[in-house]
């Protein structure tokens, strides 16, 4: 292998030895100066050599990337958050968890967050997050049941359109589909970012926890509805899909060219635990990744974070960790 710095050193020593021949001549007094000069050249050469290595290895960018031009205020911090329905007791009771949930939302500075399992009474309690508004309706049609509401900062986003559909053969009315244990709803919204003027869609889902066929068909329906409603515009698809990345409902979504898993396409390594459903196990060892944020190619994911504040601060907000992305609309 060619060793550029070693070659220079050998050359310097060769020149110094050559000088020994002239030690009795009149320019002997220049010997030290010349050696110092050669050593200086050696140091400059070594530094230049290291600089070249860094440049070719990508250690120093040849030119600024597009990310260098990103304005922090253009980034959207969007989360998917299964907040857990009411019914638990003790330190897991909703009345206790509410304060922890508010802390999680504000501590992590969500611009938008899409929830699952929130009942009408829980959404009323969450009005203490008065910097946010939301869209979405209950899934059962009695104004009491669970929602897939989408919360957004009122001073940053404007709702242009919104709607809901059910994962069933009759998607326009509250209904059960394909043997599902519960009625399952998707809430969608078309938003304008008042900072940038850019527009985008969010589809928020909670698919069935028991019926495998219902989850499969829900994946097909989500793809169909995104194509029908969003028509190629930038789109986030959030939700609790009750399936892990290797299971068929998720694979059906990923095999289609429409959506990408933000966990996989983030420009920086994902932060936090890999799993999102931790079932109140503070060791985090049982957590499974069933909460997702899918995006269309017109959205750039700068970072992905599974937020385990429940463990860090020893306060339950839910039995799920929220997952959050920092995103840019292309």
Residue 67 confidence class, pLDDT cut points 50, 70, 90: low
Residue-wise pLDDT tens digits, 273-305: 999 999 999 887 889 999 999 999 999 999 999
- Pairwise CA distance, residues 137 & 184, whole Å: 12
Percent of the chain residues past pLDDT 70, beyond the cut: 79
Nearest to 294 by CA among 247, 262, 326, 271: 262
Residue-wise pLDDT tens digits, 137-155: 999 999 999 999 999 999 9
Residue 10 confidence class, pLDDT cut points 50, 70, 90: very low
| Residues forming a β-bridge with 116 | 82
- Pairwise CA distance, residues 266 & 260, whole Å: 10
Give the mean model confidence (pLDDT) for residues 169-189: 98
Residue-wise pLDDT tens digits, 33-66: 443 444 444 453 444 443 333 334 444 343 344 5
Residue matched to tokens 């530094």:
47
Tell me the two tokens of residue 23. 């030690």
Q: What is the pLDDT of residue 285?
A: 81
Contact 242, 208 (CB under 8 A): yes
Position with higher pLDDT, 251 vs 22: 251
| Residues forming a β-bridge with 312 | none
**Full-model pTM:** 0.80
First to last CA, the chain: 45
- Pairwise CA distance, residues 62 & 71, whole Å: 21
Residue-wise pLDDT tens digits, 223-233: 999 999 999 99
């Amino acid at each position: 292998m060619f060793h550029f710095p070693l070659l220079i050193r050998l050359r310097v020593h060769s020149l110094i030895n050559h000088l020994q021949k002239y030690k009795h001549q009149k320019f002997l007094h220049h010997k030290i100066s010349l050696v110092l000069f050669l050593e200086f050249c050696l140091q400059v050469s070594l530094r230049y050599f290291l600089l070249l290595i860094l440049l070719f290895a990508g250690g120093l960018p040849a030119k600024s990337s597009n990310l260098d031009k990103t304005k922090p205020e253009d980034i959207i911090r969007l989360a998917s958050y299964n907040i857990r329905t009411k019914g638990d007791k003790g330190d897991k009771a909703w009345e206790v968890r509410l304060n922890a949930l508010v802390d999680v939302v504000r501590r992590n500075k969500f611009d938008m967050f899409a929830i699952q399992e929130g009942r009408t009474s829980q959404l009323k309690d969450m009005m203490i997050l008065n910097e946010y508004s939301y869209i979405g309706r209950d899934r059962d049609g009695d104004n009491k049941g669970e929602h897939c509401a989408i919360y957004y900062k009122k001073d940053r986003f404007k709702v242009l359109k919104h709607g809901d559909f059910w994962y069933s053969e009759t998607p326009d009315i509250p209904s059960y589909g394909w043997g599902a244990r519960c009625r399952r709803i998707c809430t969608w919204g078309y938003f304008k970012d008042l900072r940038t003027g850019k527009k985008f869609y969010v589809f928020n889902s909670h698919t069935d926890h028991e019926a495998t066929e219902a989850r499969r068909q829900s994946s097909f329906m989500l793809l169909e509805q995104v194509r029908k409603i969003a028509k190629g515009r930038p789109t986030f698809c959030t939700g609790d899909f009750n399936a892990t990345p290797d299971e068929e409902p998720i694979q059906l979504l990923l095999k289609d060219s429409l959506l990408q898993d933000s966990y996989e396409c983030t420009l920086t390594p994902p932060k936090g635990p890999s799993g999102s459903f931790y079932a109140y196990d503070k060791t985090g060892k049982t957590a499974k990744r069933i909460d997702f944020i899918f995006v269309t190619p017109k959205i750039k994911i700068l970072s992905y974070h599974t937020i385990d504040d429940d463990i860090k601060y020893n306060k339950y907000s839910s039995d799920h960790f929220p997952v959050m992305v920092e995103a840019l609309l292309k």
